[in-house]
């Protein structure tokens, strides 16, 4: 039997349990909404402007650097699995791969893009 | 109809529905979340194909990184998101016709191909695709050059993206 | 067992949907979303051909991995361009981005 | 084959006999048995989770020189159950202007992302959910779903604090995912497999001896991934009130809270599996699978306790310091460590065990020492620069 069936079962049960818990709580709890209760919680101060504000670009930079590193590190996993059997040549290839990656990090760093300013 | 076929059909329809929502929803954050659903469906398709590594990389890279990047980008370019005006351009019907034509043409072409109805040989027991993949990626007889070039490509993309988006000479960098 | 044709038709449908998105959306970010769908349909084909050919030949999976890298690079640069344009022109509507006209 | 040697298989065979006797096809019976097994495991986890609430509150009380819950039952043991009843019967408030569907899905996804992690946990030699050959990447994939749930919660709440908290939390989580992925490569290199079961089986010598620095980096990255102190800036009460889950109440908040605790415990477990031999403890696991589970849970609790210790000892770190620490120190260090580990592993693989272990250990220590020296000299120069400038300003 395909082992992924069990992974699927974990997804199903993992979703059922919180759905069940929230569902039971929804059945048991009182439901008396009013505008004050439902207002956005901002320490008792009236909300100013829209809530979906615009963000600073630095978040995007970190997500960008993360994306590149994430993809490249994931690619290293098949290399790591096979490393024991492949010998020194493969190790050197992997090191070149990582060094190229680190060069990108150094560039970003030198450009001052890793500063939270 | 076997269980595998039923699973495939369900996943395929959910994925296609999510894909349709991606291209038609007005709210861009919703579109990005629908994209996550579609990509997850594609990951399940990989699982049905026994491509374990691709499936998990799909989740890690697309849902963990690319979807987040999309949501961040939507938040950064928010001012336009107030859904003012139509989300579709004037020629959207032309795009629709072209998409339907593409699908029809592909379907027609594929029908005429004799390899179309091929069924898979049973998956070899004990075959470790990941270790084969590792072999293919780093052995000189395999794909070592594309592997290293992919690294260069990604670093180039990083450098380019950082330069394009946040060149201080473009004026207001950082807010 | 799922026949190969199902995968190919599924991928073709996903590709067409992505293409519709690319051709019809006004927002540049949404256009990139459509491109993601198209790249994914390509990957489904690659994985399906790997499985339905000789599984010992890893070319299909390796190509799919290269497509992942290309997709990541495309998103990174594409969204950076969108943000850059947004910063100078205050718009992400593709029709209004026309600096290359003159 | 008795029940005490392989309980899972015996129970499954028995159930299979029962179900097929009812006229159920074998595949359906197998799936049903799998479903029941998963349901039992996850139910046990939820009960454990309730216990963790008590442990956490008791331990934090002790760290802060208080007594903690002590009224309900002996040592306040019934307190968490009372909390659950309270959460159950509370009114569920949805803020006005919230994106209802996304708002409701987020807590469920958050809990699910933790529960599905247990699919790849090897509890005993014969008891593990699924032996996937991509086990360690599965951990990251589940974490990706958790990240998504946070951004969904923050965005859908229609609250500035929630959105800013979610953005900060996500920025931190994705940043620290890079060193975590990198350190996951180390057990993969040493065991020659990504499967968690194979990694545990490969640990005749605990990997913490071969890669102590890797274990340390993994722990730091895990704490950041969990969003616990000292990396809990998203929850900064004074500035962001409570972070991404501010608008959640009742059971939905409970899901985030319970998910966080179970996540911490799970990462304690993964720390044990990846670096401390999992269920293995000097042959104890061969005696009985129940003993093996006990060993794993014990190790997981030690990891969890360590995470709590760090949490209640250290102060919160500012976000810019935290991201700088990750990108300028932890990530380069982790990548250096992979290169050194791969190289040493290839060079020393043919030699005797003693030489191998000593070589690996010393190379780790050397890398750590070098990194600390570089950081020290850099920060000294930085301090001199800033303080020198200050003197100039004062003389102005």
Token pair belonging to D242: 């409570």
Residues 6+ away with beta carbon under 8 Å from C82: B73, B77, C28, C29, C32, C92
Residue D54, domain extent:
1-88
The span from the CA of B56 to the CA of A7, in Å, is 12
Q: Which of C38, C40, C91, C96 to mutate to test the interface with B (most CBs of B within 10 A)?
A: C40
pLDDT digits (tens, 9 = 90+) for D51-93: 888 888 888 888 888 888 888 878 888 888 888 888 888 888 8
The answer to whether residue B75 neighbours chain D at the CB level (below 8 Å) is yes
Residue A15, domain extent:
4-110
Burial (0-12, 13-18, 19+ Cβ within 10 Å), B124: exposed
Strands D127-128, D122-124: pairing is antiparallel
Could you tell me which residues are beta bridge partners of residue B156? none
User: What is the CB neighbour count within 10 angstroms for residue C47?
Assistant: 26
Q: Do A54 and B158 touch (CB under 8 A)?
A: no
CA of B34: how far to CAs of B26, B55, B79, D73, D79, in Å?
A: 12, 18, 22, 48, 41
Give the closest residue to B42 by CA, choosing from B23, B61, B24.
B61
Instruction: Choose one of D30, D54, D88: the last residue of a domain.
Output: D88
Contact C62, B135 (CB under 8 A): no
What is residue B169's predicted lDDT score, i.e. its pLDDT? 52
Token pair belonging to B73: 């980008």
Burial (0-12, 13-18, 19+ Cβ within 10 Å), D346: buried
D11 and D65 share a domain? yes
C76 contacts in chain A (CB < 8 Å): 64, 67-68
CA of C75: how far to CAs of A73, B19, B65, B84, D15, in Å?
A: 18, 18, 10, 25, 50
Is residue C27's pLDDT more than 80?
yes
DSSP code for D124: E
Composition of chain C by helix, strand, coil, percent to 5 = 80, 5, 15
What is residue D238's predicted lDDT score, i.e. its pLDDT? 58
Residue B172 binned pLDDT confidence (cut-offs 50, 70, 90): very low
What is residue B174's predicted lDDT score, i.e. its pLDDT? 41
The answer to whether residue A60 neighbours chain C at the CB level (below 8 Å) is yes
Closest chain B residue to the Cα of D106, Cα to Cα: B33
Pairs from B164-167 (Cβ < 8 Å, separation ≥ 24): B164/C77, B164/C80, B164/C81, B164/C84, B165/A57, B165/A60, B165/A61, B165/A64, B165/C79, B165/C80, B165/C81, B165/C83, B165/C84, B165/C87, B166/A57, B166/A61, B166/A113, B167/C84
When divided into structural domains, chain B yields a total of 2
CATH number of the domain where residue A58 is located:
1.20.58.1610
When divided into structural domains, chain D yields a total of 2
Q: Do B53 and D134 touch (CB under 8 A)?
A: yes
Q: Is residue A116 part of a domain?
A: no
The span from the CA of D344 to the CA of D349, in Å, is 8
Instruction: Choose one of D88, D122, D138: the last residue of a domain.
Output: D88
The span from the CA of D157 to the CA of B125, in Å, is 49
Measure CA of the first residue to CA of the last residue in chain C; give whole Å.
57
Pairs from D165-170 (Cβ < 8 Å, separation ≥ 24): D165/D234, D165/D235, D165/D240, D165/D242, D165/D243, D165/D244, D165/D246, D166/D234, D166/D243, D166/D244, D167/A55, D167/A59, D167/B72, D167/B75, D168/D233, D168/D234, D168/D240, D168/D243, D168/D319, D169/D227, D169/D234, D169/D243, D169/D244, D170/B68
pLDDT digits (tens, 9 = 90+) for D15-58: 888 888 887 787 788 888 888 888 988 899 888 888 888 888 88
Could you tell me which residues are beta bridge partners of residue D124? D127
Contact D5, D291 (CB under 8 A): no
Burial (0-12, 13-18, 19+ Cβ within 10 Å), B40: buried
Could you tell me which residues are beta bridge partners of residue D127? D124
Give the closest residue to B44 by CA, choosing from B91, B79, B84, B10.
B10
Q: Do A22 and D107 touch (CB under 8 A)?
A: yes
D40 and D115 share a domain? no
What is residue D266's predicted lDDT score, i.e. its pLDDT? 92
Q: Is residue A117 part of a domain?
A: no
Residue B44, domain extent:
1-80
Closest chain A residue to the Cα of C78, Cα to Cα: A64
D265 and D369 share a domain? yes
* pTM assigned to the model: 0.90
B76 contacts in chain C (CB < 8 Å): 83, 86
CA distance A91 to chain C (A): 19
D169 and D276 share a domain? yes
Q: Do B133 and A96 touch (CB under 8 A)?
A: no
D146 and D23 share a domain? no
The span from the CA of B43 to the CA of B35, in Å, is 12
pLDDT digits (tens, 9 = 90+) for D86-122: 888 888 888 877 788 888 899 999 999 999 999 888 8
What is residue D280's predicted lDDT score, i.e. its pLDDT? 83
B68 and B1 share a domain? yes
The answer to whether residue A7 neighbours chain C at the CB level (below 8 Å) is no
Give the closest residue to C30 by CA, choosing from D389, B10, B81.
B81
Q: Is residue A16 part of a domain?
A: yes
Domains belonging to chain C, first-starting first, are: 4-101 (1.10.287.3510)
Q: Do C1 and B91 touch (CB under 8 A)?
A: no
Residues 6+ away with beta carbon under 8 Å from B164: C77, C80, C81, C84
Considering chain B, what percentage of its residues have pLDDT values greater than 70? 86
The answer to whether residue C83 neighbours chain A at the CB level (below 8 Å) is yes
Among the partner residues C1, C36, C68, nearest to B120 by beta-carbon distance:
C1
Q: Do A100 and B166 touch (CB under 8 A)?
A: no
Three-state secondary-structure class, residue D123: strand
Among the partner residues D116, D188, D246, nearest to A11 by beta-carbon distance:
D116
Contact A83, D346 (CB under 8 A): yes
DSSP alpha helix (H) spans, chain D: 7-21, 26-63, 79-88, 100-115, 135-156, 160-191, 196-201, 207-210, 212-226, 237-240, 250-275, 289-313, 319-324, 331-348, 353-395
Q: Do D324 and A55 touch (CB under 8 A)?
A: no
pLDDT digits (tens, 9 = 90+) for C15-25: 999 999 888 88
The answer to whether residue D198 neighbours chain A at the CB level (below 8 Å) is no
Among the partner residues A55, A77, A104, nearest to B76 by beta-carbon distance:
A55
The span from the CA of D111 to the CA of D101, in Å, is 16
Q: What is the pLDDT along chain D (396 residues), one digit of tens a residue?
A: 566 777 777 888 888 888 888 877 877 888 888 888 889 888 998 888 888 888 888 888 888 888 888 888 788 888 888 888 888 888 888 887 778 888 889 999 999 999 999 988 888 877 777 788 888 899 999 989 989 998 888 888 877 778 888 888 888 888 899 999 999 999 998 888 888 888 888 888 888 888 899 999 999 999 888 877 777 766 666 566 667 777 788 888 888 888 888 999 999 999 999 998 888 888 777 778 888 888 889 999 999 999 888 888 888 887 788 888 888 889 999 999 999 988 888 888 778 888 888 888 999 999 999 999 998 998 888 888 887 766 555 554
Among the partner residues A57, A60, A71, nearest to C72 by beta-carbon distance:
A71
Q: Do B71 and D151 touch (CB under 8 A)?
A: yes
Q: What ipTM does the predicted assembly reach?
A: 0.89
DSSP code for B65: I
Is the dihedral angle over the CA atoms D349, D354, D359, D365 positive or is it negative?
positive
Q: Do C37 and B123 touch (CB under 8 A)?
A: no
pLDDT digits (tens, 9 = 90+) for B14-63: 999 999 998 888 888 888 899 999 999 999 999 988 888 999 999 999 98
Question: What is chain D's Cα-based Rg?
Answer: 23
CA of D344: how far to CAs of D349, D355, D359, D360, D373, in Å?
A: 8, 11, 7, 7, 22
When divided into structural domains, chain A yields a total of 1
Chains A and D touch (3+ CB pairs under 8 A): yes
The answer to whether residue C53 neighbours chain B at the CB level (below 8 Å) is no
The span from the CA of D345 to the CA of D340, in Å, is 8
């Amino acid at each position: 039997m395909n082992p992924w069936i069990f992974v699927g079962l974990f997804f199903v049960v993992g979703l059922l349990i919180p759905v069940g818990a929230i569902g039971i709580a929804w059945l048991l709890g009182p439901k008396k909404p009013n505008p004050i209760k439902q207002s956005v919680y901002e320490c008792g101060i009236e909300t100013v402007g829209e809530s979906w504000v615009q963000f600073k670009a630095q978040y995007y930079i970190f997500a960008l650097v993360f994306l590149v590193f994430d993809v490249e590190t994931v690619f290293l996993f098949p290399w790591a699995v096979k490393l024991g059997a492949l010998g020194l040549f493969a190790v050197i290839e992997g090191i070149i791969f990582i060094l190229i990656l680190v060069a990108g990090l150094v560039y970003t760093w030198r450009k001052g893009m890793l500063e939270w300013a | 109809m076997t269980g595998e076929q039923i699973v495939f059909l369900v996943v395929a329809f959910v994925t296609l529905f999510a894909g349709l929502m991606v291209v038609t929803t007005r709210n861009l954050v919703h579109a990005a979340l629908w994209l996550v659903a579609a990509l997850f469906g594609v990951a399940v398709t990989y699982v049905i194909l026994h491509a374990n590594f691709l499936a998990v990389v799909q989740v890690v890279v697309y849902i963990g990184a690319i979807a987040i990047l999309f949501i961040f980008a939507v938040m950064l370019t928010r001012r336009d998101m107030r859904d003012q005006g139509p989300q579709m351009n004037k020629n959207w019907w032309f795009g629709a016709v072209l998409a339907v034509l593409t699908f029809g043409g592909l379907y027609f072409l594929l029908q005429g191909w004799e390899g179309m109805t091929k069924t898979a040989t049973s998956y070899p027991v004990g075959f470790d695709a990941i270790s084969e993949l590792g072999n293919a990626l780093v052995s000189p007889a395999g794909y070592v050059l594309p592997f290293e070039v992919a690294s260069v490509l990604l670093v180039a993309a990083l450098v380019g993206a950082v330069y394009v988006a946040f060149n201080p000479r473009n004026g207001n960098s950082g807010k | 067992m799922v026949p190969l044709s199902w995968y190919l038709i599924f991928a073709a449908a996903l590709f067409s949907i992505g293409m519709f998105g690319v051709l019809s959306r006004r927002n540049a970010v949404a256009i990139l979303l459509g491109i993601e769908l198209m790249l994914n349909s390509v990957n489904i084909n690659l994985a399906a051909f790997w499985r339905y050919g000789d599984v010992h030949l890893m070319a299909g999976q390796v190509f799919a991995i290269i497509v992942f890298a290309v997709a990541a690079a495309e998103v990174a640069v594409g969204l950076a361009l969108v943000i850059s344009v947004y910063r100078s022109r205050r718009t992400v509507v593709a029709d209004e981005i026309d600096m290359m006209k003159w | 084959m008795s029940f005490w040697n392989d309980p899972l298989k015996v129970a499954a065979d028995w159930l299979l006999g029962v179900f097929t006797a009812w006229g159920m096809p074998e595949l359906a019976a197998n799936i049903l048995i799998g479903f029941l097994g998963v349901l039992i495991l996850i139910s046990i986890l939820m009960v454990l989770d309730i216990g963790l609430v008590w442990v956490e509150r008791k331990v934090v009380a002790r760290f802060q020189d208080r007594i903690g819950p002590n009224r309900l039952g002996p040592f306040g043991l019934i307190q968490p159950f009372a909390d659950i009843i309270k959460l159950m019967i509370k009114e569920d408030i949805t803020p006005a202007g919230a994106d209802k569907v996304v708002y409701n899905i987020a807590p469920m996804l958050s809990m699910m992302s933790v529960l599905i992690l247990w699919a790849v946990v090897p509890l005993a030699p014969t008891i593990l959910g699924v032996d996937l050959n991509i086990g360690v990447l599965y951990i990251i994939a589940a974490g990706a779903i958790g990240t998504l749930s946070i951004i969904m919660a923050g965005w859908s709440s229609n609250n500035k604090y929630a959105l800013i908290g979610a953005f900060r939390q996500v920025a931190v989580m994705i940043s620290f995912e890079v060193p975590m992925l990198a350190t996951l490569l180390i057990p993969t290199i040493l065991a020659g497999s990504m499967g968690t079961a194979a990694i545990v089986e490969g640990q005749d010598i605990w990997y913490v001896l071969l890669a102590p620095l890797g274990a340390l980096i993994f722990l730091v990255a895990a704490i950041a991934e969990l969003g616990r102190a000292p990396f809990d800036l998203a929850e900064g009460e004074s500035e962001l009130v409570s972070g991404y889950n501010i608008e959640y109440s009742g059971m939905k908040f409970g899901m985030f809270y319970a998910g966080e605790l179970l996540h911490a415990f799970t990462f304690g477990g993964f720390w044990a599996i990846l670096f401390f031999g999992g269920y293995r403890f000097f042959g104890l696991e061969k005696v009985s699978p129940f003993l093996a589970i006990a060993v794993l849970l014990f190790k997981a609790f030690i990891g969890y306790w360590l995470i709590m210790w760090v949490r209640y000892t250290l102060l919160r770190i500012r976000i810019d310091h935290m991201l700088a620490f990750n990108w300028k120190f932890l990530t380069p260090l982790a990548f250096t460590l992979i290169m050194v580990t791969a190289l040493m592993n290839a060079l020393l693989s043919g030699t005797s065990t003693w030489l191998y272990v000593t070589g690996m250990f010393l190379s780790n220590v050397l890398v750590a020492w070098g990194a600390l020296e570089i950081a020290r000299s850099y920060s000294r120069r930085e301090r001199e620069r800033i303080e020198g400038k200050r003197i100039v300003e004062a003389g102005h």
